Amino acid sequence: MEPSDYEKLKKSGTFYCKPGFTLLELLLAITILASIIGILYATFWGSMNNTERVRETSRIYHSGRLILGQLISDLESTYYDKSLNNKRGDSEKVDVFKGEQVTGDRENERTDKLSFLTTSGSILDSGKGESLLLRVSYFLEPNKDSGGYSLVRRAVPYVVGKELSEKDEERISEYDFVLSRNIKSFQLEYMDLEGDKNESWDSSGISTRGIPSEVAISITLDNPVGEPVTLSTRVFIPVSLLGK
């Protein structure tokens, strides 16, 4: 029986080991591995942060489009009746359409106000077979949490001679709905039938007849993960043609 390789090596007193890694090589490999993991970690979290920024910015754009959609719906359904003020005295004039230019606290900041009569979302009075009008108002209120403004839509049922006034603050605030709490600026511009631009509008005034033919809207929303988002549009008011 022939001796095994182990026995031969044992008799010769010589042993051979398979090649391995030195301590320096191990440290170098660990360093390279740690660097690769660090790069992958930074890339992963950078990608996650970018995804979060895109998601938040998309949410803001979606919120802005919903606000513009509501404004468009209300404005396109604006109610106008030439005889509404003709039957009343100067002290009882009705603000069929009123837009006020308001300058905010910061530079280039606008906090405009808008109030008008509309049939958008109105309720049908089955007794008279008529739609009850709504007095819709858009205005900004300071928001202490965000440091900006909240955009409020107020839709109060309108009945001639029984309209709630601003003095009935407790009752009238029941009709308020906050559209957004992250508004930086709300700017409106009004065009008459001749195409002239106006920073404000008052349908009950002597110099302004009827209602505007178009309203230009610009809304700036705060973006906590990037630059503020501004959305703009123009709304044509079909019933303005009655003012010709």
Q: Are 118 and 78 in contact (CB under 8 A)?
A: yes
Dihedral of the alpha carbons of 116, 120, 124, 129, in degrees to the nearest 10: 70
149, pLDDT greater than 70: yes
Under the banding of pLDDT at 50, 70 and 90, the label for residue 206 is very low
| Model pLDDT for residues 59-71, shown as the tens digit of each residue | 999 999 999 999 9
Residue 8: in which H helix or E strand, if any?
helix 5-12
Residue 14: per-residue pLDDT: 56
Whether 32 is in a domain gets the answer no
Would you state the pLDDT for residue 129?
47
Let me know if residue 208 belongs to a domain.
yes
Mean pLDDT, residues 66-83 taken together: 89
Amino acid (one-letter) located at 159: V
Q: 137 in a domain, yes or no? A: yes
| Residue 159 within a domain | yes
Q: Average of pLDDT values for 40-48?
A: 76
Report how far residue 240's alpha carbon sits from residue 244's, in angstroms, rounded to the nearest whole number.
8
How is residue 153 written in tokens? 């839509």
Give me the number of domains the chain comprises: 1
16: helix, strand or coil = coil
Does 225 map to a domain?
yes
Task: Give the pairing type, strands 149-158 and 130-142.
Answer: antiparallel
pLDDT in tens, 109-125: 899 999 999 988 765 55
Confidence at residue 1, expressed as pLDDT on a 0 to 100 scale: 44
Backbone angles phi, psi at 199, to 5 degrees: -80, -20
Q: Which domain holds residue 147?
A: 53-243
Query: Within a domain: residue 183?
Result: yes
Residue 85, pLDDT above cutoff 80:
no
Q: 124-142 pLDDT, tens per residue?
A: 555 554 557 888 999 999 9
Query: pTM of the entire structure?
Result: 0.73
**Residue 238 included in any domain:** yes
Q: Is residue 239 part of a domain?
A: yes
Binned at pLDDT 50, 70 and 90, residue 89 comes out as very low
Maximum CA extent, the chain: 132
46 or 63, greater pLDDT: 63
Which pLDDT band holds residue 90 (cuts at 50, 70, 90)? Answer: very low
